[in-house]
Homo-oligomer: A and B are copies of this chain.
Amino acid sequence: MDIGQRILFDLFVIFVAAKLGGWAFSWLRQPPVLGELVAGMVIGPHALGFIGRPDAELVAALGSEEAARAALEATYRTMAELGLVFLLFSVGLDMRVEEIFRVGRRQLFVAVLGVVVPFALGYASMRWSGRTEPEALFVGVALVATSVGITARALRDLGVIHSVEARIILGAAVIDDILSLLILGILSGLGGAVPPSSLDIVLLVVEAFAFVVFVALVGTGVVRRYGPPLSRFTTPNFPLVIAVGLCLGLAVLAGRVGLSSIVGAFLAGLVLAEARAHYDIERAAVPVYELLVPFFFVDVGAEVDLGVFARGELLGLMVAITGLAIVGKLVGCGLGALGMGWRPAVIVGVGMVPRGEVGLVVVSLGRALNVIPEDMFAVIVVMSVLTTVIVPPLLARLYADAIFRPPPVAVSEDVAHLGRADAGRSEERRGER
């Protein structure tokens, strides 16, 4: 197939599989996002192979197998990145800055303990099992960084995104990201040819911290103060264009200061939540969300190679590392939130379990430095996927009493909703106090 046709075909297959999976799982009273993950596993290159395998014509058109594979990867990655960014943007858009940072001290506890405990567990058990010092360090660090996308999506599907636990998780994830950056900076220093000075690392972290505080406080201030005059711009769909631009722009900027792009997108949403055009943007974000977000979760699911479980020699290591990853966050973050009572503490712990791209960046770095062997690399990749996949059903179980609430609706009903927009908003917020 011609590359353009191949792209459209794969996007069609992913979209349809994601929606069918999502519908099937909501019919089974499971979180739809789990259906999207399973859809990815089923159509992915490790199972049916509907996506991800370049055909002969594509290889011929692009000159090499390698280029064809890179092109397909880039196609999925483009949609997945946009999906993840718009997911966190939508979550931010639905919150207020005060909501996130009011519970500041508890989030700090959750984030710090959620970083220290998994690192200590990973490092100690690797040393104990006879691995080298550098390998133990890298594995410890790979267990640190939470990727909050799946949790945000599951909490949204469950209709509890405004609960105290959700706000603690989201705030702690931002702090977690800054801490991970700090550790990653120190770690790259250990392996690099020119080790960065401690001043460099401190500067990096200060920069990241300043970015978050600046955007969250000054950004929202500016929007509150200057939003109304700006919204008088007569260009059609102006708020919408600004929203997309700010979302992508802050995602890129967050990446530049060393944070995850999703932290930038989340902050963009938080800032625009203060705008007067807020409801318009929120409503316009729904179709974009419906279109793009499934691609991220199918992409994650497609990474799962259940075949590795057949390889006995890796199975033990995989179970051990994944177990450490789960227990580490559960205990660390749970301890940080224990003051709230048992159930909220467990919810916060589970919500912080998913590891994402940062862990993979760490082990890629370790592999490039010949510190992480191939088998450990494969195990960390599986850990990152497994910790993502198990979270939605666990959260659904923990919120078993919560009524399944359908996601925001873009069509038909939203005219009625608009009439009582403010009422609806305060009603949604009632649960949070």
A residues near B (Cβ < 8 Å) are 1-5, 7-9, 11-12, 15-16, 19, 23, 26, 62-64, 66-75, 77-79, 81-82, 85, 235-241, 244-245, 248-249, 251-252, 255, 261, 277, 280-281, 283-288, 290-291, 357, 361, 406-412, 415, 418
Contacts and interface: CB of A to CB of B under 8 A. Distances in A.
B285 A287 contact: yes
Contacts of A75: 74-75, 77-78
A107 B290 CA distance: 37
Contacts of A81: 4, 7-8
Contacts of A7: 74, 77-78, 81
A159 to B, nearest CB: 12
Given A19-B241, A67-B69, A240-B411, 6 more contacts: A8-B252, A8-B261, A71-B74, A75-B78, A235-B406, A277-B411
A236 B407 contact: yes
Query: Which 10 pairs show the lowest CB-CB distances between chains A and B?
Result: A280-B411, A71-B74, A67-B70, A12-B248, A284-B287, A74-B74, A236-B406, A5-B255, A70-B71, A75-B78
Contacts of A251: 8, 12
Q: Label chain A's interface by main secondary structure.
A: helix
Contacts of A283: 410-411
Identify the interface centre among A72, A361, A415: most chain B CB within 10 Å of its CB.
A415
Nearest to A245: B16
Nearest to A261: B8
A222 B129 CA distance: 65
A16 B249 contact: yes
Contacts of A62: 66, 70
A8 B255 contact: yes
A3 B77 contact: yes
A285 to B, nearest CB: 7
Contact of A66 (B2, B66, B280, B287): B66
A351 to B, nearest CB: 23
A411 B284 contact: yes
A252 B410 CA distance: 26
Given A70-B68, A291-B244, A237 B410 contact: yes
A228 to B, nearest CB: 13
24 contacts: A7-B77, A8-B81, A8-B252, A9-B252, A12-B245, A16-B245, A16-B248, A26-B235, A62-B66, A64-B67, A67-B69, A67-B70, A68-B70, A70-B70, A70-B71, A71-B73, A75-B75, A236-B408, A240-B290, A277-B411, A284-B287, A284-B411, A287-B288, A288-B291
